[in-house]
């Protein structure tokens, strides 16, 4: 990019010891203009919060080069929930990780396209392999919180592919990225009601941090492909392109998911 040209990025989920924070720090060090969010500034499960954030950003910048959707939740790590926990009428992981992220991306899409095409990165997980098409499309299934988390990430893999299909000819790149096994604070919220497991995790943290990637190591991979215009849209593990789970290749499911998501966006706008 030419000297003097401002490169703008939004990175969500940039709390302490998070992948989002490490990505933002790396981009900032490379000269990017960065806007970061945490739940206090952007609540993905609140449409008014999403709309307010997008409007505020649009009032300060007329284009956006990169959106890194790193914010998300993974609750009930101990698999205690027997019924789905609902938020705004939807399973909590689906409402936050999938619908909230799609809502934000849709609101910012004009800015991403306005400069001739930007890049969207959905930070997903290898656990998208545990997601199911039945749950993705709202069919009755036996509840499992880990599968629900995986389904929310499966939905984002589909959404990135859909963005590439619809807007690739306008210069938009859309990536879904499994960041690798990383030691972050995301598990802490999932253990808030499990004090014994929380203590055990704290005891295991030194080993976890020796065996897993740091947020900074993971962020280096993500930033590499997010800022490389030759990296094609698709699914990546760290910075390596791979095929996602077979369920992510179900084009009929993707079309049905797109229709139901667009109906939700329209109905609640």
**Closest by Cα among 215, 226, 99 to 172:** 226
Q: Whole-angstrom Cα distance, residue 32 to residue 64?
A: 11
**Closest by Cα among 64, 205, 184, 211 to 125:** 184
Say what the pTM is: 0.90
C-alpha distance from residue 220 to each of 74, 105, 171, 213, 224 (Å):
23, 23, 24, 11, 6
- Please give the pLDDT value at position 180: 84
Q: Whole-angstrom Cα distance, residue 207 to residue 239?
A: 25
- Please give the pLDDT value at position 1: 46
Specify the residue for token string 């991979």. Answer: 221
- Please give the pLDDT value at position 235: 98
- Which SS3 state, helix, strand or coil, does residue 213 take? strand
From the first residue on, what is the mean pLDDT of each consecutive set of 10 residues in the chain (269 residues)? 77 93 97 96 96 97 96 89 94 98 98 92 96 96 96 98 97 95 60 57 54 87 96 95 98 98 89
Strands lying side by side in the sheet with 66-69:
33-36, 8-11, 66-69, 119-123, 173-178, 234-237, 240-241
Q: Whole-angstrom Cα distance, residue 98 to residue 12?
A: 14
Q: Whole-angstrom Cα distance, residue 162 to residue 251?
A: 10
Q: Whole-angstrom Cα distance, residue 138 to residue 136?
A: 6
């Amino acid at each position: 990019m030419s000297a003097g040209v401002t490169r703008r990025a939004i990175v969500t989920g940039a709390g302490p010891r998070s992948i989002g924070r490490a990505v933002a720090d790396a981009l900032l060090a490379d000269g990017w203009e960065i806007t970061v969010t945490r739940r206090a500034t952007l609540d993905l499960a609140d449409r008014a919060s999403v709309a307010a954030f997008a409007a505020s950003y649009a009032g300060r910048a007329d284009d956006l080069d990169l959106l890194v959707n790193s914010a998300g939740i993974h609750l009930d790590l101990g698999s205690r929930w027997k019924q789905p926990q609902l938020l705004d009428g939807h399973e909590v992981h689906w409402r936050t990780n999938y619908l909230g992220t799609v809502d934000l991306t849709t609101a910012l899409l004009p800015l991403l396209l306005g400069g001739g095409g930007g890049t969207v990165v959905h930070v997903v997980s290898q656990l998208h392999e545990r997601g199911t098409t039945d749950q993705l499309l709202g069919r009755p299934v036996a509840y499992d919180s880990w599968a629900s988390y995986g389904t929310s990430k499966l939905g984002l893999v589909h959404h990135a592919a859909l963005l590439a299909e619809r807007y690739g000819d306008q210069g938009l790149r859309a990536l879904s990225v499994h960041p690798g096994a990383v030691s972050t604070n995301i598990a802490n919220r999932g253990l808030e009601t499990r004090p014994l497991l929380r203590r055990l995790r704290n005891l295991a943290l030194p080993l976890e941090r020796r065996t897993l990637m740091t947020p900074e190591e993971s962020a280096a991979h993500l930033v590499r492909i997010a800022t490389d215009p030759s990296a094609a849209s698709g699914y990546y593990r760290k910075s390596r392109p791979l095929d996602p789970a077979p369920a992510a290749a179900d084009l009929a499911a993707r079309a049905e998911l797109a229709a139901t998501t667009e109906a939700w966006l329209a109905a609640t706008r």
